[in-house]
């Protein structure tokens, strides 16, 4: 197993990409810390991991709140004594034209999607430095690379995650801490609930050269590589997994 005895914190692990990644990491031998705002969703992921024979526990976490992030990390250290892997997956989106976007919308999205990544890295890095190694994977989006209508703050937040990834990777490469980023395309998750709209579904499919949309495991397997020892010489990179959306 590729993550045998590794300890992995995964934020937003109650659904979508985070849940798929948590289940996959547990199958690969990781002890998974399921961090999520909604307790029911987070506990459900823990139960699924346990049913498949894996090990996990839940910590209620809003990554935009420093005290929650501190509690998440401290509970992980208390239980396992180390943090090998951090997957920054928690994220939100709201839809509105740029000129109709409120300050509350902007703050809500940027606080979770970007400040939350800053908080988790800031709190986790000292433990990884002491361990002499660590893997951090930030989940951004192709919306951080190209424009999308009606999600301006989301695009800004994900572009910020990509830039933050490069900067943090540069600062901590000397400590053997690999920090990389994944930019998914359109993935079937609760966040992309608009895929239930047939017109939206047809549009997204038409923009994706590969003949299907993405699934959570498509991102989970890429995160698995970046979290494993196989990627030790890879850092500061953004890996696009979008079925070819951005190559057009």
Q: Which residues are catalytic?
A: 154
CA 26 vs. chain centroid, Å, equals 16
Indicate the pairing of strand 85-88 with strand 55-60. unpaired
- DSSP 8-state secondary structure symbol assigned to residue 82: -
Question: What's the token pair of residue 27?
Answer: 């199958």
- The answer to whether 57 and 9 have CB atoms below 8 angstroms apart is no
Report the alpha-carbon distance of residue 37 to residue 183 in Å, rounded: 22
- The answer to whether 91 and 64 have CB atoms below 8 angstroms apart is no
Q: 167-190 burial, b if ≥16 CB within 10 A, otherwise e? A: ebbeebeeeebbbbbbbbbbbbbe
Residue among 25, 29, 26 at smallest CA distance from 51: 26
Q: How many CA atoms lie within 13 A of 99 on its CB side?
A: 0
Report the alpha-carbon distance of residue 91 to residue 118 in Å, rounded: 13
């Amino acid at each position: 197993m590729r993550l045998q005895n590794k300890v992995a914190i995964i934020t937003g692990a109650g659904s979508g990409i985070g849940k798929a990644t948590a289940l996959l990491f547990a199958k690969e031998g990781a002890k998974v810390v399921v961090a999520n705002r909604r307790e029911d969703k987070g506990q459900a992921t823990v139960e699924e991991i346990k049913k498949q024979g894996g090990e996990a526990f839940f910590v209620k976490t809003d990554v935009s709140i420093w005290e929650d992030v501190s509690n998440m990390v401290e509970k992980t250290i208390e239980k396992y004594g180390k943090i090998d892997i951090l997957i920054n997956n928690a994220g939100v989106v709201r839809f509105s034209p740029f000129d109709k976007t409120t300050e509350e919308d902007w703050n809500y999205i940027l606080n979770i999607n970007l400040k939350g990544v800053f908080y988790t890295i800031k709190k986790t890095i000292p433990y990884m430095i002491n361990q002499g190694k660590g893997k951090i994977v930030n989940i951004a989006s192709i919306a951080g690379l190209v424009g999308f209508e009606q999600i301006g703050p989301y695009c800004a937040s994900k572009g910020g995650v990509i830039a933050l990834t490069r900067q943090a990777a540069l600062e901590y490469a000397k400590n053997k801490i690999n920090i990389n980023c994944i930019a998914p395309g359109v993935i079937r998750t609760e966040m992309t609930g608009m895929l239930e709209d047939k017109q939206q579904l047809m549009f997204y499919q038409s923009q994706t050269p590969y003949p299907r949309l993405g699934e959570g495991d498509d991102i989970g397997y890429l995160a698995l590589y970046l979290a494993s020892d196989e990627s030790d010489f890879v850092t500061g990179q953004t890996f696009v997994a979008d079925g070819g959306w951005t190559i057009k």
